[in-house]
Structure 1
Amino acid sequence: MRLVIARCSVDYVGRLTAHLPMAPRLILVKADGSVSIHSDDRAFKPLNWMNPPCRLREEEGGWTVTHGKTGEQLILTIEEILHDSSHELGVDPGLRKDGVEAHLQELLAEHIETLGDGWSLVRREYPTAIGPVDILCRDHLGGTVAVEIKRPASRLRHHAVEIKRRAGIDAVEQLTRYLELLNRDPLLAPVGGVLAAQAITPQARTLAEDRGIRCVILDYDELRGMKREDTLF
């Protein structure tokens, strides 16, 4: 991974256009070829980025990152480089989830038709620029579906799915960020959303529906194949 801190302006040229004025920023260049631009106040979310496959051309006064399939470009005009270092991180073992969360991901991947008849699994732990989406699948129309399962804190044509034991407003916000990212990819857009959880707060449901996100309640015991007893005798 290459870490560069520079005073730069950034222009995204393609299906969408965007401009970031001159300011100090962190530029990450990862081994997979992706380039992302970060500020100091937006947590993990980049200000702008280019997903692989792409190529980086460095010239005096700036960089040009060009997507290998779409031809869209991320153009960095660099006024001053304050730091430039490279680090070999090696192969990452990946996120290991515990308890119900890990089992829920496994069960939902095995029984993906829970989200709809005719749905099919593509893969688990699908990589994105802001972290892995737990499950990638397709709906009955062949649309891409991204399924994200969070830690059990009290806490689709193309769909992104955010799953929690009890989903709150933060779950909707997380899903919205994934949708914003996925909709930047012309191979996926337009991307819809589904919020799936064992329970969803009323506030989260209202916000989700306002953003056009479908809410789905999951039954953990049913996914495990357990019959529930409704009476004591």
Structure 2
Amino acid sequence: GTYYIRVFGYNGANSATCYTITATATPVAQGCQSTYDVSSNGTATGAATIPFNTDIKGLVSPSGDNDYYKFVVTSGGTATVTLTTLPADYELAVYSSNGTTQLASSTNGSTTSETITRTYTAGTYYARVWGYNNANNASSCYTLKVQLGTASRNEIAGNEVAILKMSPNPTSNILNVSLLGASVSKRAVVQVLDARGTIVMEQSMKRNTQAIDVSKLSVGTYVLRINNGSSTITSKFVKQ
């Protein structure tokens, strides 16, 4: 942003001699986590749908944090889930579509990478990352990847790959939401979740571009989630 510095003499003080003013700025480090590590992903219900064959960066923080990620397989086959660049002793597990039935896990200990390779039928799955014995790190990210083998993918429906755009962001009243690259199903729903993962707004999505009135929300960061029938896509926005 833009800021101003004011210089003035106390009690009318002045002088014909020049003063010197110096301003320095220190860049603020940005978080290493990706947009998929959303505040609502402490449970499977709030998990963001991640793309395949892509490095997903995330943080396990604070102590006791759980990170869930959702991926959708449309044609059965093999896939490998890896968890690397570990700053602490993190664990990895894969769950079925209900988000609670564990299908496989990798718990190597220390900072050794975790790997799960298995055969998947068509369906929705969740990857969970957490710290053993509450291990955590607030600044160093892990890297999660779901690498396709013989399985095939689907981010939204059919062979569509969706992009969610929102503007203006931040916003104080109206948030314009656009779902690009995918058709909107008859069951499509737009949800807004707060920092605790609680749904605070919900409405049907009738078209690919829709205006949402968020004026009654408290100031803060929220997650907008579009449930398009068989899968979801999420992104963050700021309410001013």
Q: TM-score, normalised by structure 1?
A: 0.25
Q: Greater Rg, structure 1 or structure 2?
A: 2
- Higher relative contact order structure (alpha carbons within 8 Å, sequence separation ≥ 6): 2
Bigger share in helix:
1
Q: TM-score, normalised by structure 2?
A: 0.25
